[in-house]
Amino acid sequence: MKTEHTNIAYISTGSNMGEKLENCQKALAALNKTDSVHIESISRFYLTEPMEYSDQPWFVNAAAKIRTSLAPDDLLALLKAFEVEYGRVDSGVRFGPRPLDFDIIFYNDMIIESLQLIVPHPRMHNREFVLRPVSDLAPELIHPVFNKSIIRLLDELSTQNQQCIPMEEMVN
């Protein structure tokens, strides 16, 4: 029996080790095969410049709109389990290289602050590599803390040193 997926969440994914695009695509496909998550839509994939810790390869990033039966903490645990399955280890370097990264950006319109999880993601409004993919999916979605749409947050973002290139532009 398929579980009812009543919660809507937006998640981001990224990779900058190995087959970056393939890592993200395979992890999203595997996530969609779980009983507790249904992916409704996936943004374009972007090649993005690293932030915070710049001495590393560029990332591939995307976002997905999902429906889930999982509570926020359980969704986080599932996403972190996928990261480990795809080879993520704690390198000791915050914001350092990783084969797979998942973050919960929004969960319904909830504001969550616990030791394990902060939603909306606390740095998303400063990161083009999160805002641009989410804007592909829901530009008018309102951030419940700032009470601004994703497209407005993106417009207000200073994109200095934040290159975020749609991957299809690189192929053409």
**Residues belonging to the active site:** 88, 98, 101, 103
Q: Which pairs count as long-range contacts for 27-33, CB under 8 Å and 24+ apart, including other chains?
A: 27/82, 27/86, 27/100, 27/102, 28/62, 28/64, 30/82, 31/66, 31/78, 31/79, 31/82
CB proximity list for 39: less than 8 A, separation 6 or greater: 28, 31, 32, 64, 65, 66
* Reduced DSSP (H G I as helix, E B as strand, rest coil) percent helix, strand, coil of the chain, to 5: 30, 25, 45
